[in-house]
Amino acid sequence: MSVCLAAPVSRGVVFGARYKAGESEAAAEGPQRRYSPAHTARYLNQSCSSTSTLQKPDRAARDAGTSLFLSGGDETHEDLDPGALMTFLIGFISVIFCGHLGNDELNAVGLAIAVINVTGISIGYGLSSACDTLMSQTVGSGNLKQVGVLLQRGILILLLACFPCWAVLINTQSILLAVRQRAEVARLSQLYVEIVMPSLPASFMYQLQTRYLQTQGIMWPHVITGVIGNVLNLFTNYIFLNLLDMGVAGSAAANAISQYSLATVLCIYICCRGLHRTTWAGWSSDCMQDWGPFTRLAMSSMLMHCFASWVYEAGGFLAGLIGEVELGAQAILYQLAAFVYMIPMGMSVAASVRVGNALGAGDTEQAKLSAKTSFVCTVIVASFVGVFLGVSKDVIGYIFTTDLEVVQRVADVMIMYGFVHVIEAAADVTGGIIRGVGKQRVGALFALVGYYFIGLPIGLSLMFPAGMGIVGLWLGILICITMETAFYVVYLSKLNWQDVTKEALVRTGAPLTDRKEMPVTEHKDGWQEKVCEKVCETDQEKAQEKAQEKAQEKASCPAEPGDLQGTSDQEAPDPSQRAVLTVRQLAVRRGLALLLMSLILAAGVLTDKLLLRFYN
């Protein structure tokens, strides 16, 4: 799992990483510097010698297949998503500890974690996934300081997103009672959620920091800090539950402490090791600008992720309507599914980052190669995991409980889940490719249709009228992810990759003024020589002279705002020329956003009071 993607897809990151040699220049000109054609030409020139072996796509594919088993190094650990894994393990450990307290505690904590994931963790993960597009493409373009601005923008937006999440989490007990959960289970779930709620901002910041590092190809820091946080979680759970006998409340407190430790330790590590120096130029007022593009991508990414995760979470609530055995088995299956899902999720992130890096660098063929390699690697690894799950179906339930009925029900579903995992992995990595190219709206639409118009109706029909219980639910999920994967594969096969490359260059602020000299690269015979010849003809002095000439022409003959004749056919809109909001406009708009989020939270608190009074 740790060697699948490094060698065949690492070149996309090189375009941004190699600009470190010119870091002092960028710092001198400020964080909002827009790179000239000569700078981008320099990246292409440097990359030509390092990629001379990739004469043809089929040759590249053979090299990728060989590297699949031989590659190594730090970048390879991107195949498993450490940020998501470390966040997940916190709840996973809670379920294991509380599962040995009794069935009520197991069910309550399982439902509580499901609610937290649905209305908290998945929201933050989805919103931060906008960075898979924005940051990865920006790194690929070489505009490194803009990555720091994107991080600042993400911090503000994700902190605001905590307010509506809290509004829903406050109503956990009412929601569980509404779906006919037992009062004691609902009460314990509410207790767990209320203690964990204050740690939601820390969880969001940890997810954002991991995205910030992953898009730059930096993997070890959040692996190390994640291990530290989870070891702390293990010890605090043991102390609070076994020594202090605090029960569910103790496990929730351990969860909250661990969430803050993850975010805090990772932030300290980044600052102490100076991992932020190439991308961070200090807090900038520009982080208050352009919330629209970030929010649109973030919302689409969130829906794309949440449409899938919400179906799994809903399974716990639906299983509770059948009986305690079904609920306990579904809680265990959810934890197992979420754990093994970390592997394809990590590969999905790797795919989005590598594809985004290549597109930001203007390398169309490398983006396509990264996409194909990611898909093949993910399916191969998922197949091995699926076989292992099928073989261990009769014993895996004992990790969580000694109840024989629950263990047997888990085994019944595990027969089918091996196939679910393989197809789900294919769907997830293709979704990562779609995030890398910036087509999250399409991904969200496919997820909506696949899960809610096909899979869930079939699953509910098999679960209740057909009397198959949770086996029917998982069969419905298998059908829907098969359809979703088919949608993604067909869409990507029809995608115009040159168009998405140009969109990426515009999105990152990369110069498009000299497309004849800096073409979107196509890997054909001798393409390196042709590109290098054109690139080497363009140096920084010539680019500056051309810019001065164009500036003089525009000064002497200014074009009207709506006059397209004043713009060269070779020019594309530069994002740096977009309208900038004034301080007053920013104060009004951002203030209204804060007010709206606060009102949503207040409405959530009021609703909770009214509903609890109704149920009591």
The β-bridge partners of 521 are 363
pLDDT value of residue 80:
52
> 456 lies in a domain?
yes
Number of domains in the chain: 1
pLDDT value of residue 569:
36
Dihedral sign of CA atoms 359, 364, 369, 374 in order: positive
The pair of structure tokens assigned to 56 is 């043809």
> 86 lies in a domain?
yes
DSSP state of 280: -
Q: Radius of gyration (Cα) for the chain, nearest Å?
A: 25
Contact 123, 306 (CB under 8 A): yes
Q: Where are the alpha helices (DSSP H) in 102-144?
A: 103-116, 122-128, 130-141
Rounded to the nearest 10 degrees, what angle do helices 103-116 and 324-360 cross at?
A: 30
Gap between the Cα atoms of 458 and 483, Å rounded: 13
> 513 lies in a domain?
no
pLDDT value of residue 466:
86
> 277 lies in a domain?
yes
Gap between the Cα atoms of 195 and 399, Å rounded: 26
What are the E-state strand segments in 1-157? none
Contact 252, 198 (CB under 8 A): no
pLDDT value of residue 133:
84
Q: Which domain holds residue 260?
A: 11-16+70-505+584-615
> 499 lies in a domain?
yes
Gap between the Cα atoms of 291 and 156, Å rounded: 10
> 34 lies in a domain?
no
What are the per-10-residue average pLDDT scores of the chain (616 residues)?
A: 35 37 40 39 38 41 36 40 67 78 80 85 86 84 85 93 93 85 87 92 91 82 83 89 86 90 90 86 85 87 85 78 84 82 83 88 88 90 90 84 86 88 91 89 88 88 87 90 90 89 79 43 38 39 50 48 37 52 87 93 90 78
Contact 205, 263 (CB under 8 A): yes
Q: What is the 3-state secondary structure (H, E, C) of 477-540?
A: HHHHHHHHHHHHHHHHHHCCHHHHHHHHHHHHCCCCCCCCCCCCECCCCCHHHHHHHHHHCCCH
pLDDT value of residue 503:
86
> 248 lies in a domain?
yes
Residue whose token pair is 């609920």: 327
pTM of the model: 0.71
> 322 lies in a domain?
yes
The β-bridge partners of 363 are 521
Length of the chain: 616
